């Protein structure tokens, strides 16, 4: 070692002793001075620490802008605090908390359980479907589907009946034109509309009941078209009457609508002009309203800017695929179960009846869900996109229904809007209570349900009517005593069990009338 290094050695050792608090310790806890040995010498490190010590001693502060003694105390307190935290963690491992499956925990991420339910549902239905294939074989028959619509290939009564409906549509337009120019009075127009709307319900029912070549499926299809037209024409005459009242009272002026657009070409896109009453009383406007997926007529239909071809093709593919799936599931799954249910119903074997009912509930509910998606999402969106109809709210979150009334108000928005606009609110404005208004809405719905089932089957048992009217006390009970998840479970239970009961009742009575009586 050089002389210069030897001269700096003792001073460096003294500085090291000051900085390290009296000397560095060995691994066994003794100091270098206690062992009688000299500590190792690091000149570079000594110089760096010497500079820090000199700056700290000159300024009286440490490297964080605080006094050296205070910094040492802070570092020591942090060290003691971390040690105390470690000890506390070792001593206590419990806190005040609820179980995840308790409602008080506030936990809501049950995605894994939902996936498990879906997997279990798929596996159980796959087992049932495989059991059905093994027991009955392949029952899907496309030729039999055609026979459901036609008995005679040269007689198409359902299609002819639908074509004849144009006469009643044009009659409603002619009546409104005469009312608009004042050639007939309001009373005369009202009588003519009542006669026309009554014909909408009576005429097709009479044809279905008297025609021997009309199949039940064809009857349901034709009566369904006439029912939709009845609701549309009722809204049509109601809205035009309101327009006349506004025009006569000169309260305000309606703007022109998109329901009857005057189309002009501008840069390759259609520019829609507005119409005002009575400019809306045209063939174009009437048939646009007939084909558009809504039951409520208005002079200002929202319009989409263009037709999305990819969206249209997706909906068309869904329509075709799901239609085939529905027919296949009905033939393969529901028909054998219904046929096997006839004997327990005839013998009034209640245990077997309940077993058949529960067995039918699964395929019936699955088919109903597929039908909902097929009709309210695929078909109505396809038609709306084709007609450039902008209001696509055909349903809301009915699956989250916690009451019966919420379900019926959100699963079929076009019918719900019609009932509110043309039936429920007019009743309230005339002084009726909300309960009577809701009961009347359920009664009208019950009438049309029975109308669409009993007349095509050519028998009157009122099972659909009573099933709909039973919704009134059920809605009161669920709304009063069940809330939250319990109310939602009650809604699902009514959907899963209620529909198979009505199906079995009608099939049983139809079988007794048309098969047992003839044999």
Instruction: Out of 13-22, 253-262, 268-277, 330-339, give the one with best mean pLDDT.
Output: 330-339
Q: Is 449 a catalytic residue?
A: yes
> d(Cα 362, Cα 194) in Å, to the nearest integer?
43
Average pLDDT, rounded, for the chain: 79
Q: Which long-range contacts (CB under 8 A, 24 or more apart) does 274-279 make?
A: 274/300, 275/299, 277/180, 277/240, 277/243, 277/244, 277/247, 278/176, 278/177, 278/180, 278/181, 278/243
CA 435, chain centre distance (Å)? 27
Residue 386, pLDDT above cutoff 80:
yes
DSSP state of 187: H
Higher per-residue confidence, 304 vs 53: 304
Both 239 and 362 in a single domain? no
Q: Are 282 and 260 in contact (CB under 8 A)?
A: yes
Non-local CB neighbours of 147 within 8 Å, separated by 6+ positions = 215
461 near 454, Cβ under 8 Å?
A: yes
Domain endpoint, select from 291, 320, 347: 291
pLDDT at 310 over 90: yes
401 lies in some domain: yes
Over the stretch 453-507, which tens digit does the pLDDT of each residue have?
A: 999 988 888 888 888 889 889 999 998 888 888 899 999 999 888 888 888 888 8
Instruction: Please report which confidence band the pLDDT of residue 72 belongs to, taking 50, 70 and 90 as the band edges.
Output: low
Q: Which has the closest alpha carbon to 152: 207, 215, 103, 92?
A: 215
Co-location of 326 and 286 in the same domain = no
The tokens for 88 are 């506390």
The DSSP line for 231-296 is HHHHHHHHHHHHHHHHHHHTS--PPP-SSS---EEETTEEEPPP--TTTT-SHHHHHHHHHSS-S-
Q: Domain range for residue 149?
A: 140-253+276-291
320 lies in the same domain as 437: yes
At 213 the three-state DSSP class reads coil
**Cα gap 156→135, rounded to integer Å:** 36
Helix (H/G/I), strand (E/B), else coil: 131 = helix
Cβ atoms 159, 225 nearer than 8 A:
no
- Between CA 15 and CA 51 the distance in angstroms is 11
For residues 26 and 35, is the Cβ–Cβ distance under 8 A? yes
Residue 238, in any domain of the structure: yes
pLDDT at 8: 43
Residue 416 has pLDDT above 80, yes or no: yes
In-domain check, residue 63:
no
Same domain? For 369 and 394 the reply is yes
Query: Could you tell me if residue 128 is inside a domain?
Result: no
Confidence of residue 48 (pLDDT cuts 50, 70, 90): very low
Are residue 361 and residue 283 in the same domain, yes or no? Answer: no
pLDDT at residue 74, rounded to an integer: 61
282 & 354 share domain:
no
Instruction: Say if residue 237 is in the same domain as residue 314.
Output: no
Last residue of a domain, one of 291, 317, 347: 291
The pLDDT value recorded for residue 42 is: 42
Instruction: Find where tokens 């935290």 sit.
Output: 85
Output the six-digit token pair for 496.
Answer: 């899963």
Question: Looking at per-residue confidence, does 25 or 150 come out higher?
Answer: 150
- For the segment 65-91, the average pLDDT, to the nearest whole number, is 66
Asked if 337 and 283 sit in the same domain, the reply is no
The answer to whether 61 and 68 have CB atoms below 8 angstroms apart is yes
Examine residue 400 and state whether it is found in any structural domain, yes or no: yes
DSSP string for 371-397: HHIIIIIIIHHHHHHHHTB--------
464/343 Cα distance (integer angstroms): 23
| CB-based contact 248:289 (threshold 8 Å) | no
pLDDT at residue 200 in the model = 94
Q: Tokens at residue 49, please?
A: 């620490």
**DSSP code at position 103:** G
DSSP letter (8 states) at residue 305: S
Is 272:242 a contact under the CB 8 Å cutoff? no
Q: Is the pLDDT of residue 387 over 60?
A: yes
Instruction: Establish if 103 belongs to a structural domain.
Output: no
Of 53, 365, 377, 449, the catalytic one is 449
Q: Is residue 417 included in any domain, yes or no?
A: yes
Looking at the whole model, is its pTM more than 0.85?
no
Alpha helical stretches, state H, 307-433: 309-329, 335-347, 350-372, 380-387, 404-410, 413-419, 425-429
Output the pLDDT for position 372.
94
* 283 and 346 within one domain: no
Please indicate, yes or no, whether residues 245 and 344 belong to a single structural domain of this protein: no
CA distance 338 to 193: 43
Residue 506 inside a domain? The answer is yes
Going by C-alpha positions, the residue among 457, 462, 419 that lies closest to residue 209 is 457
Domain identity same for 159 and 248: yes
Are both 342 and 458 inside the same structural domain?
Answer: yes
Tens digits of residue pLDDT in 288-299: 999 999 999 998
Count of structural domains within the chain:
2
Judge whether residue 251 has pLDDT over 60: no
Q: Which of 177, 174, 200, 179 is nearest to 189 (CA)?
A: 179
């Amino acid at each position: 070692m050089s002389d210069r290094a030897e001269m700096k050695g003792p001073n460096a050792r003294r500085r090291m002793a000051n900085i390290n608090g009296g000397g560095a310790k060995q691994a066994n806890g003794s100091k270098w001075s206690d062992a009688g040995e000299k500590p190792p010498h690091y000149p570079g490190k000594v110089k760096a620490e010497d500079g820090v010590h000199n700056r700290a001693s000159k300024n009286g502060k440490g490297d964080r802008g605080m006094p050296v003694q205070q910094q040492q105390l802070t570092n020591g307190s942090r060290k003691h605090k971390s040690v105390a935290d470690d000890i506390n963690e070792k001593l206590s491992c419990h806190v005040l908390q609820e179980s995840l499956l308790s409602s008080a925990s506030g936990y809501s991420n049950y995605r894994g359980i939902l996936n498990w339910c879906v997997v279990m549902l798929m596996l159980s239905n796959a087992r049932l479907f495989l059991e059905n294939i093994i027991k009955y074989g392949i029952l899907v028959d496309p030729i039999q589907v055609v026979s459901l619509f036609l008995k005679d290939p040269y007689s198409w009564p359902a299609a002819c009946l639908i074509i004849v409906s144009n006469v009643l549509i044009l009659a409603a337009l002619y009546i409104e034109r005469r009312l608009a120019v004042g050639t007939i009075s309001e009373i005369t127009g009202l009588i003519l509309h009542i006669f026309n709307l009554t014909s909408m319900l009576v005429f097709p029912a009479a044809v279905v009941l008297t025609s021997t070549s009309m199949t039940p499926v064809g009857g349901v299809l034709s009566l369904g078209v006439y029912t939709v037209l009845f609701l549309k024409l009722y809204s049509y005459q109601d809205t035009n009457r309101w327009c006349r009242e506004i025009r006569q009272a000169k309260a305000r002026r309606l703007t022109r609508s998109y329901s009857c657009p005057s189309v002009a070409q501008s840069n390759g896109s259609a520019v829609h002009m507005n119409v005002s009453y009575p400019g809306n009383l045209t063939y174009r406007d009437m048939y646009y309203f007939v084909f558009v997926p809504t039951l409520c007529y208005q002079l200002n239909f929202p319009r989409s800017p263009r037709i999305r071809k990819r969206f249209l093709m997706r909906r068309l593919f869904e329509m075709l695929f799901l239609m085939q799936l529905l027919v296949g599931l009905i033939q393969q799954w529901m028909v054998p179960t219904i046929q096997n249910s006839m004997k327990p119903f005839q013998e009034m074997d209640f245990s077997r009846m309940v077993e058949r009912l529960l067995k039918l509930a699964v395929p019936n509910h699955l088919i109903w869900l597929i039908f909902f998606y097929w009709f309210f999402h695929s078909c109505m969106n396809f038609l709306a996109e084709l007609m450039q109809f902008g209001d696509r709210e055909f349903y809301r979150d009915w699956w989250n229904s916690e009451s019966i009334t919420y379900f019926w108000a959100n699963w079929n928005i076009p019918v719900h809007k019609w009932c509110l606009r043309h039936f429920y609110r007019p009743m309230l404005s005339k002084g009726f209570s909300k309960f009577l208004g809701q009961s009347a809405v359920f009664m009208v719905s019950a009438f049309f349900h029975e109308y669409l089932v009993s007349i095509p089957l050519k028998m009157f048992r009122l099972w659909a009517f009573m099933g709909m009217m039973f919704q009134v006390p059920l809605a009161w009970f669920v709304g009063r005593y069940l809330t939250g998840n319990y109310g939602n479970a009650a809604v699902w239970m009514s959907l899963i069990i209620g529909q198979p009961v009505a199906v079995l009742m009608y099939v049983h009575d139809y079988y007794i009338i048309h098969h047992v009586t003839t044999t």
